Structure 1
Amino acid sequence: MKFKAFLTQDGVNLLDKRFLPSLDKIGRVCHLYLTRDHAIFLHNLLGGDGIQSVAQFKKEVLFNDYRISSQNEDRIAFAIDVALLHRALRSAQTIQLQSQDDTAAIQIKLVKKLPVGSLNPAPFLTFETKGLRSAVVQDVPISKPLSRADVVQLQTALDAAQDLPQTLVQVPDLSQLQNLVERLKNVGELLMLAITQYGDLHLQVSTSLITVGSEFRKLKVLGIQADAPSGDQNLSAPTRTEMAIQRGEALSVQVSLKHLAKSLQCHLAKPDCAFYGISPQGVCLTVIFQFFIPGTRLTDKSISFHCRLPVLDTGSN
């Protein structure tokens, strides 16, 4: 089982300034899954009741001279502490800048070493900053690489996590939505969220004393969509939503406000837009972040990032 590659400068910037801060907000420990073509950061796909997240990069986005080999179709996966990974990356970058050596490069590879005070070698993801005159090595401890069976299970979970809801709506500015969710957290812990095929997003928190909600209308819709009935325009938001659910043109679920707030921390990855959707039968709430090729409105297909929030109650659907 071998892996080594050199980080590109764009890859260092993407991880350091955008994705690692975002992933750390979702959970301290994640799986790093390396294949022949992709590097993938995964949260909670092998268990746990928290947010599932998948950040996937084509290898060329992050690496040069990418080499991987294993007896499991050149697939390697292991658990890693996101904060420790980020700290090592930043340190390697600082050393690279201070070296004033144009040839300095950051190499990343899997190694086994004997930890201080131990008799058994342990696996590490090692950063080696090389220049003409010096090299500095930093080791990030990782879990034992997953077995063949566990990698197959991880790949199966990843394939299942790629399924898209039938209707997606483009949510408003993420910072605006984040401010709303922070206010709603002061009211209660559970949020009823509904999405209609007309492009409506309805958020509501209820307690025994008060109900507070907000609605965004006429949002961009991807997938199955419908025209809003003209006779519903003067009805209240909850009534319109309930009628849309009864017509089979909307779904609603109940999710944890804490989970939703955590997913909104993904704005640190600086996506260009985001879409919300509810999977059939209300299995989960899916949040998809979209990135554009710089200077265009074209989707950058070399990067993908999405979250799936567990549902506490399927509500009415």
Structure 2
Amino acid sequence: MKFKAFLTDNGINLLEKRILPALDKMGKICHLYFTRDHAFFLHNLLNADGVQSVAQFKQQSLFHDYRISSQNDDKIAFCIDLSLLHRALRSILAIYVESRDFNSSGLQIKLVKKLPPHSTQPMPFLTFEAKGHKSAVVQDVPISKPLSRADVQELQLALESAQEMPATLVRAPELNSLQNFVDRMKHVGDVMGVSISKCGDLHLQISTTLITLGAEFRKLMVLGERADGVVGMRV
């Protein structure tokens, strides 16, 4: 199992300033999943805890000299702490940008196994490395043991299921009013039912043994299949 690539300037900028800060808000731990053509950041696809999130990138948008090989059809997946990943990237960038010793080949990212201090068992790491003429800078990010063939297949099936678009979607209402309702309902219960209709109606409902409360947002823009006579615009 091997993976290594160089981050492009665009990839560095996307990861440092946009992708990692945004994904960290979705959850601290995610699956990082590499295939021949794509890199995925996946939240909660193998469990029902929290919001499911799929961030997919063509490998050319983040990397160059991209090399991956495994006995699982060149697919590699593992769990990683996004805050540690972001911290390691910022740390090595601070040194890389300030030093003139480093050549223009860029920052390399790769999977390695190393023996941590006070340990007798090698552990997997995702490593950033910047090489210069006289020195090199390395930042290691601990990761989980790479997923087995069966677990990668389960993750792939969950990914395909998560990417299936419903036949009908509605455009979200004005976000302030939606957030205000959700914030008020936090004090009533932990689980909220959400449903939409082909007429463009969004229904939110929360129930307990004592009370049932709900809200309805009507005549929203309908995307996809819609009821006869419904036009795709707010009225």
Q: TM-score, normalised by structure 2?
A: 0.85
TM-superposed deviation, 1:41:
1.2
Instruction: Supply the distance in 2 between the matched residues of 1:95 and 1:59 (Cα, whole angstroms).
Output: 25
TM-superposed deviation, 1:215:
3.5
1:217 alignment partner in structure 2: 218
Root-mean-square deviation (CA, aligned residues, Å) is 2.5
Preserved contact between residue 103 and residue 132 of structure 1 (Cα < 8 Å): no
1:29 alignment partner in structure 2: 29
2:233 alignment partner in structure 1: none
Q: Secondary structure at the match of 1:66?
A: strand
- Closer, same or farther: CA 153–206 of 1 in aligned 2, 3 Å: closer
Deviations 1:5-26 (CA, angstroms, capped at 9, x unpaired): 1112222232222332232233
TM-superposed deviation, 1:192:
3.0
Preserved contact between residue 78 and residue 143 of structure 2 (Cα < 8 Å): yes
Using the TM superposition, name which of 80-89 and 156-165 deviates more: 156-165
Percentage identity across paired residues of the two chains: 66
- Closer, same or farther: CA 152–180 of 1 in aligned 2, 3 Å: same
TM-superposed deviation, 1:43:
2.0
Preserved contact between residue 104 and residue 131 of structure 1 (Cα < 8 Å): no
1:183 alignment partner in structure 2: 184
TM-superposed deviation, 1:167:
0.7
Are residues 1:92 and 2:75 paired?
no
1:41 alignment partner in structure 2: 41
Unaligned runs of 5+ in 1: 230-317
Unaligned runs of 5+ in 2: 231-235
TM-superposed deviation, 1:138:
0.5
Instruction: Supply the distance in 1 between the matched residues of 2:212 and 2:94 (Cα, whole angstroms).
Output: 51
Q: TM-score, normalised by structure 1?
A: 0.65
Q: Secondary structure at the match of 1:190?
A: coil
Deviations 1:32-61 (CA, angstroms, capped at 9, x unpaired): 110000001112223353332211111111
Q: Which structure would you say has the larger RCO, counting Cα contacts within 8 Å and 6 or more residues apart?
A: 1
| Partner amino acid, structure 1, of 2:218 | R
1:163 alignment partner in structure 2: 164
Preserved contact between residue 35 and residue 76 of structure 2 (Cα < 8 Å): yes
Instruction: Supply the distance in 2 between the matched residues of 1:67 and 1:180 (Cα, whole angstroms).
Output: 48
Instruction: Supply the distance in 2 between the matched residues of 1:220 and 1:201 (Cα, whole angstroms).
Output: 10
1:106 alignment partner in structure 2: 107
Aligned residues: 229
1:73 alignment partner in structure 2: 73
Q: Secondary structure at the match of 1:156?
A: helix
Deviations 1:132-157 (CA, angstroms, capped at 9, x unpaired): 44321010111111111221221122
Instruction: Supply the distance in 2 between the matched residues of 1:143 and 1:84 (Cα, whole angstroms).
Output: 13
- Closer, same or farther: CA 125–186 of 1 in aligned 2, 3 Å: same
- Closer, same or farther: CA 211–154 of 1 in aligned 2, 3 Å: closer
Preserved contact between residue 7 and residue 107 of structure 1 (Cα < 8 Å): yes
Q: Secondary structure at the match of 2:24?
A: helix
